[in-house]
Structure formats: structure tokens, C-alpha cells
Amino acid sequence: MQDYRKLFDLSGKTAVVIGAASGIGKAAAEALGSLGAYVVCADADIDGAKATADEINSVSEAEAVEIDAADGKQIEALAADVVRARRVVDVAVSTPALNIRKLIMDYTEEEYDRVMTLNLKGTFHFLRAFGRPMQQQGSGSIIACSSMRAVTIEPGLGIYAASKSGIAQMVRAFAAEVGPYNVRVNAIMPSIIETKLTAPIKERADIYNVYAAHTVFNRWGQPSEVGAAIAFLASDAASYISGSSLSVDGGWTAVDGPPTGLTSTRPST
């Protein structure tokens, strides 16, 4: 019988998480470390990355590295450094993103460039930088961060959504290109998650409740719930999954608007 516990075991694996200082990236790094991986915690916030690494070091091994996730040269250098030090890179995760919430007519060109440079171009650099060594070694799992905004929208999120849709398509294309080398490429699509970035929105009860009502659970998600999904995609338990965007959205994109509140549990006759 298949040892299913072993499929989730990441002992002996080397993982890189860009955006590991906080939020979803921090949760992803912790999840990977909890399953036994050696985790390189990379972030522009080096103090936050060190704090994450320190937490992981209580159960596994980790180190912290400072990086600008919008800088292609720094991403390439990170991948090269990890391969030089660890000989292989088994898992690579990237979570940083920028959202400037404005109507398209109000966007400046500079704001558009900022969003696209980090979200879309940053992911492009990430895929290439870690895809190369994984292709050469003949194995690996790459996980990018898209969003449920890739498939559903509201006013003021058009540019952000376009970047996240682009990530989903780029992941599909890259999965096809590196699949013959036994490299898997996937994305996650979270909905509203409780992080530092969403804290100002959470403080407004009216907005919190409206967004919560879009999910089938009537609540926001936790970073750990996304981190667990990332750990699954990183593991051998997901060995036949590639080119996918995994929704971690509390059912938001599965239902047409907020639930109706119907409460009858009697079976239909």
C-alpha cells in the first residue's frame, strides 16, 4: 500500500520562499519547514525574514536572505546562490504582490508600471530563475501566487486582476515547457486572507462582512490555510498536478454572489 504520509514529507528538500517575512509567504515558509524542508526565507524585509527563519529553526532548518522581488538580477542571483550552497533547489515559492486600488481611468502610468513590474514581471523572472536549475536537475516544484481576482473582478481592481490573470496563464505555459523535465508549475488563487496588507480593510466591519459573505463559510481565510495548500503543491502528494491554479477562496468563485441565507435542510421530494 502507498505510504501516504511519506508523500507529504519534505525532509531533505530545499525550498525557497520569496515573500517569507509576513502573510502568505511567512505561512508557506512555516508549512514547508514543518514538513521537514530546509527553507531559504527571502524578503525585502530582512528582519521579518530572519524572524520567520528563527521560528522554522525550532523544527527544521532555515536561513534568511534579503531580496527585491521586482529585481530580476537579484532573483537570478538568489537561485544561483541556493544551488551553489545546496546543490539542488526542490521547491520555489513566490508570493509578493502590489495592489493600487484605483479605477483604470484614474491610474497613472507610473502606478501601472509599479504593479506590473512586481506582480507580473517579477513572476516572469522568478519562473525563469528557478526553472533553469530545476530543468537541469530533472525535478522540482514551482508555485506562484495568483488570486481569485484572476477570474472575478470588482471596480478598482482591474490592473491588479490583469496581473494575476497573466500569472495564471504564464504558469500554464511554463508548466507545458518544463513538464518534460519532470518540473511541476502551479499557482494558488487565494481570496480575502487576514494579513497585514488586508488589516486596514478588516477594521471596517461593513467591508469585512461584505467580503466574508462572498465565501460559503462567511469568514476570511487565514494565511496558514494558504500555506497548507502551497505545501501540498510542493510535495509528492501533488506529483500529477501541474499547470493548475488552485483556488483557496472559501468557495468565493464557486458561487454567484453572496449566499442567499436559505436555511432549510429538508430533502427535496
Q: What amino acid positions are annotated as catalytic residues? A: 160
Residue showing cell 488570486: 147
**SS3 of residue 104 by DSSP:** helix
| 254-267 per-residue burial string, b: 16 or more CB within 10 A, e: under 16 | eeeebeeeeeeeee
Strand partners, 63: 40
C-alpha cell recorded at residue 122: 517579477
For residues 26 and 49, the answer to whether their CB atoms sit within 8 Å is no
Alpha-helical (H) ranges within the chain are: 4-7, 23-34, 46-56, 72-86, 109-116, 122-137, 158-178, 199-202, 205-213, 223-234
Cα 36–Cα 191–Cα 216 angle in degrees, nearest 5 = 105
| 57-91 per-residue burial string, b: 16 or more CB within 10 A, e: under 16 | eeebebbbbebbbbbbebbbebbeebbeeeebbbb
What is the distance in angstroms between the CA of the first residue and the CA of the last residue of the chain?
Answer: 42
Residue showing cell 522568478: 126
Q: How many CB atoms lie within 10 A of CB 8?
A: 15
Q: What is the rounded distance in angstroms from the CA atom of residue 57 to the CA atom of residue 38?
A: 9
